[in-house]
């Protein structure tokens, strides 16, 4: 992997690795050590325009390639990702900070998307009705839409791009990816493997940068559709500007996910699952558990189990054996998290585990230990805002109804979980909670690639979600033929 850490990461355009002419360069850090591991260019408008032009030219040929042949290249890509699994996971840990086991899991989530996309021949089949009237028939045919722009966040450098480009490519589109400027390295490795798999030049391109490149994607007349994943304000902006330019846009946004623990729950399981969901990936998951509403009668017992488990968490560099909690992504993000912890205290929540006091929090990397607040109310900022760090809020409630009412006050509605043994409670929860992805006795109910990633409210802007048949429909358009054979 040594030579992979190029001084300034290159763009990948038309099957060539090209140096950006931009003089605007940002450092890329290993968040576990604070070391600069690469530099990323904020590419110019000309570079983006060139990539889109190339992708548009490639589209004219790629869309004509028979679907099974496109699928075969996708199978080869899957094979290469499997062969390079450990290496990809290591790279994720180095640039993102999550522990190696979690990074390994992220690679699997990416591979699953590629596997789903390799089913394109079946997925792209249309529907026919041989007789809509006497001697008259109708059928639906599915086609790609053109050049897709993909804009991705730092927290899943592999999985999130894989939500997008495998399905887009398998269905015959071409792609321009703008990865997070904080985690650009894994994206380039994905592109090297794209090349090795045999995708033609220009079908998949990468232009590194930040908001200017995003604006270029949003405004470019040759970009047909935009897949965005990132924070709420940017998702809303991307959705508004993209649709204003009459593009198809799906924008997956921020979250503040709630878990409900009822008095009949298996407390040990609930504490273990919630611990993983709140502090795994340093809380930097759009499906992280951020708030727990626990029934009064078992609150003390549950909190004791949770704090005990949190005390056992090993904090450090995610490449080290046994480490569970890695750093947050940047120093500024650590500072912002510490401000939220202070804010929580000011607001009157009870700080029952203070992650500022963990030894690792004094090291060079951007570490914050597991932090837990009790007696949090929905008027508090720590309840309302997405902190995106290992900070968990607990609210004590009378019953399920109060818990659901509380959770539904959030503007976000990505995921929600319930811990109970009672089927009736699960049904009430399912029918009344405002959230798109639900879990029962599990902490992170992230759907697999063949189901849609289904956030609601301010956690999603658009109609068709990422993945599953939604993903297929987002990247394709249909023709309906009605005919009489005379």
CB of 368 to ligand NAD, least distance (A): 16
Binding residues are: 154, 178, 181-182, 386
CB of 286 to ligand NAD, least distance (A): 3
Residue with Cβ nearer ligand NAD (230 or 344): 230
In the complex, residue closest to ligand NAD by CB: 230
CB of 54 to ligand NAD, least distance (A): 20
- Block residue for tokens 């009668």: 297
- Block residue for tokens 């059928």: 139
Residue with Cβ nearer ligand NAD (153 or 172): 153
CB of 179 to ligand NAD, least distance (A): 7
**The pair of three-digit structure tokens given for residue 468, joined into one six-digit string:** 């599953």
For residues 92 and 186, give the distance between their C-alpha atoms in angstroms, rounded to a whole number: 7
CB of 240 to ligand NAD, least distance (A): 12
Q: Quick check: 354 and 371 in contact, CB under 8 A?
A: yes
For residues 346 and 339, give the distance between their C-alpha atoms in angstroms, rounded to a whole number: 10
Q: How far is CA 12 from CA 40, 174, 194, 331, in A?
A: 13, 13, 11, 29
Binding residues for NAD(+) are: 154, 178, 181-182, 386
Pairing of strands 174-178, 147-151: parallel
Residue with Cβ nearer ligand NAD (210 or 442): 210
Q: How far is CA 467 from CA 47, 165, 450, in A?
A: 29, 11, 6
Closest CA to 351 of 416, 303, 305: 303
Residue with Cβ nearer ligand NAD (165 or 388): 388
Closest CA to 453 of 159, 46, 171, 54: 159
Q: Tabulate helix, strand, coil % of the chain (nearest 5).
A: 40, 25, 35
Question: Among residues 162, 286, 289, 417, which one is catalytic?
Answer: 286
Pairing of strands 25-30, 460-461: unpaired
Residue with Cβ nearer ligand NAD (163 or 373): 163
CB of 284 to ligand NAD, least distance (A): 7
CB of 438 to ligand NAD, least distance (A): 15
Residue with Cβ nearer ligand NAD (33 or 231): 231
| Distance, C-alpha 481 to centroid of its chain | 37
Closest CA to 236 of 254, 248, 263, 215: 254
For residues 67 and 18, give the distance between their C-alpha atoms in angstroms, rounded to a whole number: 30
- Block residue for tokens 């919630």: 274
Residue with Cβ nearer ligand NAD (155 or 393): 155
- Block residue for tokens 């589209």: 59
Q: Quick check: 178 and 187 in contact, CB under 8 A?
A: no
Strands (E), 271-347: 289-295
Q: Quick check: 184 and 223 in contact, CB under 8 A?
A: no
Annotated catalytic residue 289: no
Residues near ligand NAD (CB under 6 A)? 151-156, 160, 178, 180-181, 210-211, 214, 229-231, 234, 252-255, 286, 386, 388, 414, 453, 455, 459
For residues 119 and 298, give the distance between their C-alpha atoms in angstroms, rounded to a whole number: 47
Q: Which residues are catalytic?
A: 286
């Amino acid at each position: 992997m040594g030579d992979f850490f190029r001084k300034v990461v290159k763009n990948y355009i038309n099957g060539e690795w090209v140096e950006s002419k931009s003089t605007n360069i940002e450092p890329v850090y290993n968040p576990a050590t604070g070391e600069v591991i690469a530099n990323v260019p904020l590419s110019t408008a000309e570079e983006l325009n060139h990539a889109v032009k190339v992708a548009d030219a490639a589209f004219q040929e790629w869309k004509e390639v028979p679907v099974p042949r496109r699928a075969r290249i996708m199978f080869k890509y899957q094979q290469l990702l499997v062969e390079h699994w450990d290496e990809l996971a290591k790279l994720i840990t180095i640039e993102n900070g999550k522990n190696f086991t979690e990074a390994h899991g992220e690679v699997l989530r990416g591979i699953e998307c590629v596997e789903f996309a390799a089913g394109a021949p079946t997925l792209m089949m249309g529907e026919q009705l041989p007789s809509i009237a006497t001697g008259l028939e109708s059928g639906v045919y599915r086609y790609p839409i053109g050049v897709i722009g993909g804009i991705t966040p730092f927290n899943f450098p592999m999985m999130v791009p894989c939500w997008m480009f495998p399905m887009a490519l398998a269905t015959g589109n071409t792609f321009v990816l703008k990865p997070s400027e904080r985690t650009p390295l894994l994206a380039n490795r994905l592109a090297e493997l794209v090349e090795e798999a045999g995708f033609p030049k220009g079908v998949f391109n990468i232009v590194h940068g930040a908001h200017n490149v995003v604006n270029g994607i949003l405004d470019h007349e040759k970009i047909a559709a935009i897949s965005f994943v990132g924070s709420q304000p940017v998702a809303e902006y991307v959705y508004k500007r993209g649709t204003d330019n009459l593009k198809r846009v799906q924008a997956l946004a921020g979250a503040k996910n709630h878990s409900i623990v009822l008095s009949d729950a298996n407390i040990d399981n609930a504490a273990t699952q919630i611990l993983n969901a709140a502090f795994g990936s340093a809380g930097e998951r759009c499906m992280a558990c951020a708030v727990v509403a626990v029934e009064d009668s078992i609150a003390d017992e549950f909190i004791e189990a949770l704090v005990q488990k949190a005390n056992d968490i090993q904090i450090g560099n995610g490449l080290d054996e046994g480490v569970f909690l890695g750093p947050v992504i940047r120093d500024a993000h650590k500072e912002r998290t510490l401000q939220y912890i202070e804010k929580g205290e000011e607001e009157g929540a009870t700080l029952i585990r203070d992650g500022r006091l963990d030894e690792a929090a004094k090291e060079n990397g951007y570490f914050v230990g597991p932090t837990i607040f009790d007696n949090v109310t929905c008027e508090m900022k720590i309840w309302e805002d997405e902190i995106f760090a290992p900070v968990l809020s607990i609210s004590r409630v009378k019953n399920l109804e109060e818990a659901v009412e509380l959770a539904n006050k959030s503007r976000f509605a990505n995921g929600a979980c319930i811990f109970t043994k009672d089927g009736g409670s699960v049904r009430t929860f399912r029918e009344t909670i405002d959230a798109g992805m639900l879990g029962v006795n599990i902490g992170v109910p992230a759907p697999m690639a063949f189901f849609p990633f289904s956030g609601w409210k301010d956690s999603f802007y658009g109609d068709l979600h990422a993945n599953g048949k939604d993903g297929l429909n987002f990247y394709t358009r249909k023709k309906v033929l009605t005919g009489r054979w005379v």
